[in-house]
Structure 1
Amino acid sequence: MSDADTNTRSEVIAGLVPSAPRRMFGTAVLYGLGALLFYLVITQPPEGLHLVFLLVLIGAVSIYGGYKMWDVTGHMIELTEEELRLSDGRVIFRMDDVVKVDRSFFAFKPSNGFLVTLKTPYPRQWAPGLWWRFGKRVGVGGLTSGAEGKLMADTLTAMIATRDGIVDLDGIR
């Protein structure tokens, strides 16, 4: 494989990045929930120690989720001919493993996003506000723009149809 082939295959076809206001609002909601739960424990603690522990735990998880959301949403999801990856190089899934893309109303997908079913299971991973992966299912979207998510899902669907021989996009050129 030549350098030209490598550059062509790793060329970004579509990108998905959360806008700054959505990013700030999403993290502010999680930080606010955590702070509110800590405030509740301090000012009006429940009678049972187990309830205090539960509120502190949920508050800590909310604050950690806000931190993780801020960190992860700083990256862009990139669609190439080979893979769906983050801008830092982490691979979400390889194109060879994709079975179908689902944007239907009843799909268990993130807001403004889509669901991808894979042939082989990948390790569980979660990037709040951007994507998640659980076994053979990957949800992409969340704090992202609906139009960008639709464009990426449609592009991915066309790539899969071309790969499977359902549509011949080379004949269009």
Structure 2
Amino acid sequence: MSDFTLTPSPARRASAAMMLAALGALLVWIATRPEAVGMGWIALLLAMAVLAFGFAWLVWRATARGLVLTEEALTEEGGRVLCRLDDISAVERGTFAFKPSNGFMIRLKTGQDRPKYPRAWVPGLWWRLGHRIGVGGVTPAGQGKAMADVIAARLSGAGRIE
């Protein structure tokens, strides 16, 4: 069976980074207005602007890679492992699931014999916290749904070739 790739949408990727950069520019503009309250507020607004610009750059860099689903694991294109397929207990993509937009959430199995994955966050693409992984954000909705369906099929055994 071939690998399945989830690639960030170039339009969503650019939109996310530009929105954060626009927030930074707006904060700089507000801080430079003659009606500014005081030096403390100006310093706070400029610090927030620097954070917004930095976060825009972080989102742009983080979403340059996609995710790859192989027979063994869900990984980033660079090779970083999000989780092994053997460690997945369920895939949720319902309306009320705690998941990123256009994405899905993976619940990992718990227990003594299961590896504990460290917390991680790749803005706009995926996050891992405890026994949950959220995938999505700047990814196309159709690709996210298809990847969730492929993972669910592989978990049920329908996608395995003996």
TM-score of the superposition, structure 1-length normalised?
A: 0.81
The secondary structure found in structure 1 opposite 2:71 is: coil
Query: How is 1:1-173 mapped onto 2 (pairs within 5 angstroms)?
Result: 11-12=2-3, 14-43=4-33, 44-47=35-38, 49=40, 51-120=41-110, 121-162=116-157, 170=161
How big is the shift at 1:125? 1.2
Give the unaligned 5+ runs of structure 1: 1-7
Count of aligned positions: 156
CA contact (8 A) 2:91 2:148 kept: yes
* In structure 2, C-alpha distance between the alignment counterparts of 1:25 and 1:168, rounded to whole Å: 35
Letter in 1 for 2:82: I
- In structure 2, distance between residues paired with 1:38 and 1:90: 36
Q: Alpha-carbon deviation of 1:57? A: 3.4
Q: The residue matched to 2:117 in structure 1 has which SS?
A: strand
Indicate the larger mover: 100-109 or 90-99.
90-99
Runs (4+) off by over 4 Å: 167-171
Q: Where does the alignment leave 5 or more consecutive residues of structure 2 unmatched?
A: 111-115
Percent sequence identity is 40
Q: For the residues of structure 1 that align with 2:85 and 2:16, how far apart are their CA atoms?
A: 30
